[in-house]
Amino acid sequence: MESPVGSLTQETISLEQVDDVRIVRFVDDKISDAAQVEKLGRELLALSESCDAPRIVIDFSNVKFFSSLAINKLIVLEKRVRAKGGKIRLSELAPALREVFGFSQLDRLFTIHDLRTDAIQELAKTSKE
């Protein structure tokens, strides 16, 4: 039977797993189109529901544009994950996108790592505590 993780690949996001940390990457380098953003929101919510206390690293390394509508989907995901006792870390943001998060003070809502390896390491560490 296909796992929930496997069933989400080939959509707007792809998933990897390191220990119990799930790593999200975006299939497209520009997340902008309204229909695409709605689909992204559904996939992220499915991810948040796929396990208890999810630990999720979002890897932006291939993302050139991420609309504020898409950022809203991340905010919804963060609320769901936090409500379930899980954690989210963002990583590998391009300078312009990092500026958006900083200027909007969203770096107070999300912990942002320069490197995805650091983000994974931190969440893997907290899951063992």
Partner 1 sequence: MSFSTPWNLDETFASEPDGANTLTRRILDQLESMGWSEQDVFGVHLALEEALMNAIKHGNRRDPSKKVHLMVELSDTRFVATVTDEGCGFDPEKVPDPTLEENLSKTSGRGISLMRLFMDDLQFNSCGNAVQMSKTRQSS
Shortest distance (Å) from residue 3 CB to partner 1: 30
Shortest CA distance to 57 belongs to which of 82, 15, 93, 24? 24
List residues bridging with 22 in a β-sheet.
17, 56
Shortest distance (Å) from residue 115 CB to partner 1: 21
> DSSP letters of 6-51?
HHTTTSSEEEEEETTEEEEEESSSEE--HHHHHHHHHHHHHHHHSS
Shortest distance (Å) from residue 40 CB to partner 1: 13
Check: CB of residue 64 under 8 Å from CB of residue 30: yes
Shortest distance (Å) from residue 46 CB to partner 1: 18
* Local structure of 56: helix, strand or coil: strand
d(CA 2, CA 53): 21
Q: What are the residues binding partner 1 (CB under 8 A)?
A: 32-35, 64-65, 67-69, 71-72, 75-76, 78-79, 95-97, 99-100, 103-106, 108-109
CB-wise, 79 or 125, nearer to partner 1?
A: 79
CB-wise, 1 or 35, nearer to partner 1?
A: 35
CB-wise, 21 or 90, nearer to partner 1?
A: 90
CB-wise, 108 or 128, nearer to partner 1?
A: 108
